[in-house]
Structure 1
């Protein structure tokens, strides 16, 4: 439904803070936030890469919450995309039980 906004957060940012952020940025909007069960990153330096990986997966018609991404390969993959001037799916495989 167009009233549901899906949130793909690899850092497990506090839910209340995100809800308040959306309320402040979009006052008067009646949207439901759905926090999707996506892979959680190790460390705090790859959130941008996960955001790119999630967005790219969506563009390719894949659901980020059904995938497990290879965190160690994300940065090199992104560099290759920039160097080759093309966006390719980020290294991932289906999560167990989500085929």
Structure 2
């Protein structure tokens, strides 16, 4: 079974401020998270993606360049990496 895609509103740091477990078993139960952000995004600053990645255990930050806020959704390489992440580790 693959991983679940979470809506941005559910993983944004402000949505969980003070509610993410700091340590222990509950923190270890949080699912892996892939954060995808483009350096040229003029809508959302990179610091938000970095904060999410830092706050979420087992989070990965996939940085892209030259795609901005919208084209990142259609980029074949980004799509390939997101699909690979959602499919989970090879068995």
TM-score, normalised to structure 2, is 0.32
**Does 1 or 2 have the higher relative contact order (CA < 8 Å, sep 6+)?**
2
Q: TM-score, normalised by structure 1?
A: 0.30
Q: Computing the radius of gyration over CA atoms, which structure comes out larger, 1 or 2?
A: 1
